[in-house]
Amino acid sequence: MTRGLEKHMVKIRLTRMGSKKRPFYRVMAIDERKQRDGRPLEFLGTYDPRLDPPALNLDIDGIEGWVGKGAQLSDTVKSLVGRVRREGNTVPPVSAPVGTEVVTNG
Which CATH number belongs to the domain containing residue 31 in this structure?
3.30.1320.10
Alpha-carbon dihedral of residues 13, 19, 21, 26, nearest 10 degrees? -20
One-letter-per-residue 3-state SS of the chain: CCCCCCCCCEEEEEEEEEECCEEEEEEEEEECCCCCCCCCCEEEEEEECCCCCCEEEECHHHHHHHHHCCCEECHHHHHHHHHHHHHCCECCCCCCCCCCCCCCCC
Q: Is residue 16 part of a domain?
A: yes
Q: Is residue 100 part of a domain?
A: no
Q: What is the domain count for the chain?
A: 1
Q: Is residue 76 part of a domain?
A: yes
Residues 40-82 have pLDDT tens digits of 888 999 999 888 888 888 888 999 999 999 999 999 999 999 9
Q: For position 77, what pLDDT does the model report?
A: 93
Q: For position 73, what pLDDT does the model report?
A: 92
State yes or no: pLDDT of 10 exceeds 70: yes
The terminus-to-terminus CA distance of the chain in angstroms comes to 72
User: Span 2-30, mean pLDDT?
Assistant: 82
State yes or no: pLDDT of 97 exceeds 60: no
Q: Is residue 74 part of a domain?
A: yes
Q: Is residue 45 part of a domain?
A: yes
**Residue span of the structural domain in which 57 resides:** 10-87
Q: Is residue 93 part of a domain?
A: no
Q: For position 75, what pLDDT does the model report?
A: 93
pTM of model > 0.85: no
Q: Is residue 35 part of a domain?
A: yes
Q: Is residue 15 part of a domain?
A: yes
User: Span 19-41, mean pLDDT?
Assistant: 86
